[in-house]
Amino acid sequence: MRTMQLGTSALHVPVIAVGCMRINGLSAKEADSFVHASMDLGANFFDHADIYGDGKCEEIFADAIQMSDAVRETIILQSKCGIRKGMFDFSKEHILTATDGILKRLRTDYLDVLLLHRPDALVEPEEVAEAFDQLESSGKVRHFGVSNLNPMQIELLRKSVKQPLVANQLQLSITNATMIAQGVSVNMETAAAVNRDGSVLDYCRLHDITIQPWSPFQYGFFEGVFLGSDKFPELNAKIDEVAAAHGVSNTTIAIAWLLRHPAQMQPVTGTMNIARLTDCAKAADVNLSREEWYAIFRAAGNVLP
């Protein structure tokens, strides 16, 4: 699979990340087949979080891939911490404890990337910096990033954190593209012109922070998949038309639409279906034209000024 640079790091990763949030819904045999099929596709970047299945997803993954020192060197592991029951927690103590738990469940000595998961209203940047320094110096984490943070929240962290923040995992899909739509509708008196995220898309591009779109097939907040949905007839008709022109599936086009953006995003898939993951991987070789990209954008209900 085609690769890309993750942020400003020296880490080169597949343009598609494999999300493991739902791996606990598979049997041991199915998980084994899925993980190894991902590897065969060249999709060796696996995204986790300590809250996925209350940690069970990380354990299932480690079993499925038959984690060993030799296997570990063939994969790229990312996980997230910071969400606790009823709260968000970026305290030094929690980051360190959570990371140790992640490493134990994944049966590895280090993470390639650790992301802070959801903004903590009580964050103290100095504590985050101390935790990152300790994790880096001990070799437990090689690169750091965030998830669902806006530009000023990132700037607040950067006040104290010395490590580059290489990724920001954000909800983004064809139907959840406000961060793109508001940039198109600047200076207009429309709902689309409302800047809801502090221009996070432009900010990440300016600072070479890789955006990792999560839920690339969902509309709303886990309300359903837009592909094939009768809620989006015009959009599906256009996606199917473009898919036929390229000889690929609608799944491939939904990912290719994200990859076409010059921000050089790394979409995080959530499927546990091997055939669908294969279609996602094919997007790495599909280059939509400007006309096709905008046609899909408009078909999703976005109006150009």
Question: Looking at beta carbons, which pairs linking 21-24 to residues 24 or more positions away fall under 8 Å?
Answer: 21/49, 21/52, 21/53, 21/57, 21/270, 22/57, 22/270, 22/271, 22/272, 23/52, 23/53, 23/57, 23/60, 23/61, 23/64, 23/272, 24/52, 24/53, 24/56, 24/57, 24/60
12: β partners: 5
- Residue 203 vs residues 125, 158, 267: alpha-carbon distances, Å: 19, 13, 18
- Residue 44 vs residues 38, 78, 248, 261, 298: alpha-carbon distances, Å: 7, 11, 22, 22, 34
**Distance between CA 137 and CA 133 in Å, rounded?**
6
User: Does 294 participate in catalysis according to the annotation?
Assistant: no
What amino acid positions are annotated as catalytic residues? 52
